[in-house]
Amino acid sequence: MARTGQVTESTGSPPQRRPTGARAAAAARAVLPAPFGRRARLELLFCLAGIPLGLCLPLVPYVISGPALAVALLSPEHDSTWVAAAAAIPAGLVLVLLATRIARRLGAVHRRLAARLLGERVDPPPPRPGRGAVGWAGAGLRDGPGWRAAAYQVLKLPLAVLEAYAAFLWVAGLADLTYPFWWGLFRNHPPGVTLDPVTAASPFPGRGFPVATFAGTFAALAVGVAMVLAAPWVTRAVVSVDRRLLRALLGPGRLAQRVRDLEQTRALAVDDAAARLRQVERDLHDGAQIRLATMAMHLGMAMEKLEDEGGQAEVRQARELVDEAHRAAKDALAELRDLVRGIHPPVLDNGLADALATLAAGSGIPVELTCDLPRRPTPAIETIAYFCAAELLANAAKHSAATRVTIRCAERDGTLVLTVGDDGTGGADPAAGSGLAGLAQRARTVDGRLKIASPPGGPTTVTAVLPLRA
Amino acid sequence: MSPPTGAGGGPLRVVIAEDAALFREGLVRLLTERGHRVVAAVADGQALLDAVAADRPDVAVVDIRMPPTHSDEGLRAALELRRDHPGTGVLVFSQYIETRYAARLLEPNAAGVGYLLKDRVADVREFVDALARVAAGGTALDPEVVGQLLGASRNADDLAALTPREREVLALMAEGRSNAGIANALVVSVGVVEKHVASVFGKLRLPPDEGDNRRVLAVLRFLGS
What is the rounded distance in angstroms from the CA atom of residue A297 to the CA atom of residue B119?
Answer: 8
The full set of domain ranges for chain A reads 2-29, 32-252, 287-343, 347-467
Is the confidence at residue A213, as pLDDT, over 90?
Answer: no
Average pLDDT of the residues in B66-70: 88
Higher pLDDT, A4 or B107: B107
**pTM greater than 0.80 (yes/no):** no
Average pLDDT of the residues in A368-381: 93
pLDDT value at residue A5: 35
Which CATH topology does B146-224 take?
A: Arc Repressor Mutant, subunit A (1.10.10)
What is the rounded distance in angstroms from the CA atom of residue B53 to the CA atom of residue B84?
Answer: 9
What is the rounded distance in angstroms from the CA atom of residue A131 to the CA atom of residue A148?
Answer: 19
pLDDT value at residue B134: 94
% pLDDT > 70, chain A: 85
Beta carbons of A231 and A35 less than 8 angstroms apart: yes
As a dihedral over the C-alpha atoms of residue A240, residue A241, residue A245, residue A248, rounded to 10 degrees, the angle is 70
What is the rounded distance in angstroms from the CA atom of residue A12 to the CA atom of residue B219?
Answer: 106
Is the confidence at residue A144, as pLDDT, over 90?
Answer: no
pLDDT value at residue A61: 65
Q: Among A291, A293, A328, whose Cβ lies nearest the Cβ of B121?
A: A293
Q: Do domains B7-141 and B146-224 have the same CATH topology?
A: no
Quote the Cα angle for A90-A96-A97, to 5°. 90
B71 interfaces chain A, CB cutoff of 8 Å: no
Q: Predicted confidence band at B57 (pLDDT cuts at 50, 70, 90)?
A: very high
Instruction: Supply the DSSP string of A44-111, one letter for each residue.
Output: HHHHHHHIIIIIIGGGHHHHHHHHHHHHHHH-SSHHHHHHHHHHHHHHHHHHHHHHHHHHHHHHHHHH
Tell me which chain A residues have a C-beta less than 8 angstroms from the C-beta of B29.
301
Give the DSSP H or E segment for A374: none
pLDDT value at residue A242: 92
Q: Which residues pair with A132 in a beta bridge?
A: A135
Number of Cα atoms under 13 Å in the Cβ half of residue A413: 3
B124 interfaces chain A, CB cutoff of 8 Å: yes
Eight-class DSSP state of A129 = P
Quote the Cα angle for A132-A138-A141, to 5°. 135
User: B125–A297: do the CB atoms touch at under 8 Å?
Assistant: no
Q: Find the length of chain B.
A: 225
Q: Among B95, B123, B125, whose Cβ lies nearest the Cβ of A289?
A: B95
User: B119–A293: do the CB atoms touch at under 8 Å?
Assistant: yes
Q: Which of B6-15, B63-72, B76-85 has the lowest mean pLDDT?
A: B6-15
Q: Among A285, A291, A297, whose Cβ lies nearest the Cβ of B121?
A: A297
For residue B2, the chain A residue with the least C-alpha distance is: A308
Q: Among A294, A303, A308, whose Cβ lies nearest the Cβ of B26?
A: A294
A274 interfaces chain B, CB cutoff of 8 Å: no
pLDDT value at residue A14: 43
Phi (first) and psi of residue A438, to 5 degrees: -65, -40
Chain A nearest CA to B48, separation (Å): 20
% pLDDT > 90, chain B: 60
Beta carbons of A287 and A335 less than 8 angstroms apart: yes
Q: Which of A23-27, A39-43, A371-375 has the lowest mean pLDDT?
A: A23-27
User: A294–B123: do the CB atoms touch at under 8 Å?
Assistant: no
User: B123–A304: do the CB atoms touch at under 8 Å?
Assistant: no
Average pLDDT of the residues in A35-50: 86
CATH class of A347-467: alpha beta
pLDDT value at residue A37: 81
pLDDT value at residue A294: 93
What is the rounded distance in angstroms from the CA atom of residue A421 to the CA atom of residue A412?
Answer: 18
Nearest to A143 by CA among A99, A182, A197, A93: A99
Give the DSSP H or E segment for A198: strand A198-200
Average pLDDT of the residues in A105-110: 89
pLDDT value at residue A77: 60
Q: Which of A455-459, B23-27, B36-40, B46-50 has the lowest mean pLDDT?
A: A455-459
Phi (first) and psi of residue A374, to 5 degrees: -65, -35
Beta carbons of A407 and A369 less than 8 angstroms apart: yes
A199: three-class secondary structure by DSSP: strand
What is the rounded distance in angstroms from the CA atom of residue B14 to the CA atom of residue B88?
Answer: 9
Average pLDDT of the residues in A31-50: 83
The full set of domain ranges for chain B reads 7-141, 146-224
Higher pLDDT, B13 or A401: B13
Eight-class DSSP state of A35 = G
pLDDT value at residue A76: 61
As a dihedral over the C-alpha atoms of residue B15, residue B20, residue B26, residue B27, rounded to 10 degrees, the angle is -30
Its CATH architecture, for the domain B7-141, is 3-Layer(aba) Sandwich (3.40)
pLDDT value at residue A461: 93
Average pLDDT, chain A: 83
pLDDT value at residue A73: 64
ipTM: 0.85
**pLDDT, tens digit, 9 for 90 and up, residues A385-422:** 999 999 999 888 888 888 999 999 999 988 999 999 99
pLDDT value at residue A63: 64
